[in-house]
Structure 1
């Protein structure tokens, strides 16, 4: 409860004219006791009891509550998960007042077939959960994050968690990579005819910047391809302006590599502000 108390103190300290720090909180449990104990040091039943109290207090404060269920396909400690358990835990979260439950393939081992089977169990029979109150949270360890989203879309889900450049992971799930990259998701959805918000090129630039700032590899396939295309376009434009005898120079792979490195360096330096002024590149 300490975290919730700290949030309430922050909200209470704000001026009525200020934009609220947040209007919702997230609560977490899992589909296996083993993962729940590793993550929150309690069983599923104990976690639900605690979360019911947290949810009640948060809603009384006017906050929305979003629930998360980890390891809905495979648990790193016990293996394949019983989808009926996923359904029961998700139903408990909705019943206690969550407006939505995000179903997490935390290990990232699920295939589209697994996701369909899990969702069909959760969304059918007694106590079925509606697609409008479910979200997908698919890690991309085995490269199935985007295919799993497309499979869930076919069953009616319309909300999915993603992370720019594929950031993230899970300390209690050895080997798991981050959540599916936002750039990859948007590229796939736009190519499939779905309307999506945001500028994909700008998002790819953000992914390149944050990866450089953190000193980690950019895990977005679409993001890296977009950055390479943008770098090539920049090189071509420069060489077109540096004509010798009216003929533009041919763009080489080395030119693109140099342009990409320069682009990433420029983005990083622009964001490293000192006293509010961006460093000049």
Structure 2
């Protein structure tokens, strides 16, 4: 049935002229192409669209677009991008930003949770994540302008894709992507030394949070050393709930305060 559907579908599109530029929209339900074989205007091409039959529709996608730049100078940076499935650690998409404008566009398959990484030589990498199980309009892209910091002493960044079990210092499996990326960063920058900082929200006793934050930082330290990063290039410290970056009165604020940071020494 599918083969006959394809044959019938193609026969309705192909003409004696040229058909090219076949593009499917983000929803996966409509296709566009140009042709000079079905119009009455000589050799000029026209753009046509048609609805794709259900069995031939690809999975819908979202996309993220934006620009990468040096956070201090504003200079354009052509970054490399990776999108990985947080559950399986499988690479889903790789892309490169425009070398002149720093602009990028990366497809995001719906229905999963993904780690998103942007990097440029000599700079701290950017890490974020997308949960595409949640509703987000297919018509509206994520817009993400990324300012990268040059690698130098004092620079600090949050490792957005480090996850722990609740009230535990056990690293969740989804953290592997970020940790392996950090190992790669340390190997690509052999002169860099870092402090791994653990932070909590203000829920619970201060002494408990202090110990939890230190043990979480230590868990990251242990993973990195086992991955080949020399111990002398690493330090770790727990800060408990003493350095919040957001308001602890909201769920969202507390989630931001529970974090793992690295600081270049």
TM over 0.5: no
The structure with more radius of gyration:
2
The structure with the greater share of residues assigned to helix is 1
TM-score (norm 2): 0.30
The structure with the greater share of residues assigned to strand is 2
- Point out which structure has higher relative CO (alpha carbons under 8 A, 6+ apart): 2
TM-score (norm 1): 0.29
